[in-house]
Amino acid sequence: MTPLLQVKGIEKRYGTRIGCAEVSFDLYPGEVMGIVGESGSGKSTLLNCLAGHLEPDAGQVVFDTKTDGPMDTVTMSEPERRMLGRTDWAFVHQHARDGLRMSVSAGGNIGERLMAVGERHYGNIRTKAIDWLGRVEIDETRLDDRPTSFSGGMQQRLQIARNLVTGPRLVFMDEPTGGLDVSVQARLLDLLRGLVREMGLSAIIVTHDLAVVRLLADRLMVMKDGHVVEAGLTDQVLDDPQHAYTQLLVSSVLQV
């Protein structure tokens, strides 16, 4: 089986400081990878390098494209990379405001990716938008409302709908539950878990919340100071941490 994504020796430096270095892993179709670490450990830098938002200084990000098979997304042309960005890839931002067009209605937000890949039938776009609002548990009557009138949790769910509407195969998530209260977080996690299983999505989730990776991720990478210090199956890493930093991280979680 070809991995969906092969990351080979990714390195990004900010001047002399290291953003992230020597990161390599394979992601297989249907697999969810969690990346945890403290603030400043390089997990967002890594995610942005993988998603093509930042240009890495070294390394390869090989994605198994539908048409041409495995291709290095770092060296591919910008139009190709941007095309991937709105078809096979999705990016869920921590702040829904970064990922949504706040002045455009919910339906328009969901429809944007469809129109960007050439859908030109208003009725079809609308039907799909309604379908996706339902899937992310937003009432159909909110279709023509702007996201500014939505609560934080709804905005985040709308962002997810907007990203998944074109049926991507790989989803990058940057702290998808950050800034939401715990009950809303729980619903969002439930929703994400359902969608990931149902659509057979692969996902890379960056978070500092161990509960999120415990629920969603099959595998886990722990980062510190730009390097991966430990990697393995989620339960294995969390239940039997080997590296001193992972042990600290796991023991820092408050038990209620």
Partner 1 sequence: MSEYNFAYLDEQTKRMIRRAILKGLAVPGYQVPFASREMPMPYGWGTGGVQVSAATLTPDDTLKVIDQGADDTTNAVSIRKFFEKTAGVETTEETEKATIIQTRHRIPEAALREDQILVYQVPIPEPLRFLEPRETETRKMHSLEEYGLMHVKLYEDISQHGAISTSYAYPVKVSERYVMDPSPIPKFDNPKLEMDAIQLFGAGREQRIYAVPPHTKAVSLDFEDYPFEATKADHPCDLCGAENSYLDEVITDDAGNRMFVCSDTDYCRSRREAGHAGRLAKEDAA
Q: Nearest approach, Cβ of 89 to partner 1 (angstroms)? A: 15
Interaction of residue 168 with partner 1, rule CB under 8 A = no
Interaction of residue 115 with partner 1, rule CB under 8 A = yes
Interaction of residue 101 with partner 1, rule CB under 8 A = yes
CA distances from 31 to 56, 78, 128 (A): 24, 27, 26
Distance CA 110, CA 125 (A): 8
Interaction of residue 113 with partner 1, rule CB under 8 A = yes
Interaction of residue 120 with partner 1, rule CB under 8 A = yes
Q: Nearest approach, Cβ of 155 to partner 1 (angstroms)? A: 18
Q: Nearest approach, Cβ of 79 to partner 1 (angstroms)? A: 5
Distance CA 89, CA 91 (A): 7
Distance CA 20, CA 30 (A): 25
| Residues 170 and 89 sit within 8 Å (Cβ to Cβ) | yes
Distance CA 127, CA 130 (A): 5
| Residues 159 and 192 sit within 8 Å (Cβ to Cβ) | no
Interaction of residue 112 with partner 1, rule CB under 8 A = yes
Q: Supply the Cα-derived Rg of the chain in whole angstroms.
A: 18
Residue from the set 53, 82, 193, 197 that interacts with partner 1 by CB under 8 A? 82
Interaction of residue 144 with partner 1, rule CB under 8 A = yes
For the four alpha carbons of 188, 254, 256 and 234, in that order, the dihedral sign comes to positive
Q: Nearest approach, Cβ of 149 to partner 1 (angstroms)? A: 14
Interaction of residue 79 with partner 1, rule CB under 8 A = yes
Q: Nearest approach, Cβ of 104 to partner 1 (angstroms)? A: 6
Residues that bind partner 1 (CB under 8 A): 78-79, 82, 86, 101, 104-105, 107-108, 111-113, 115-118, 120-123, 125-126, 143-144
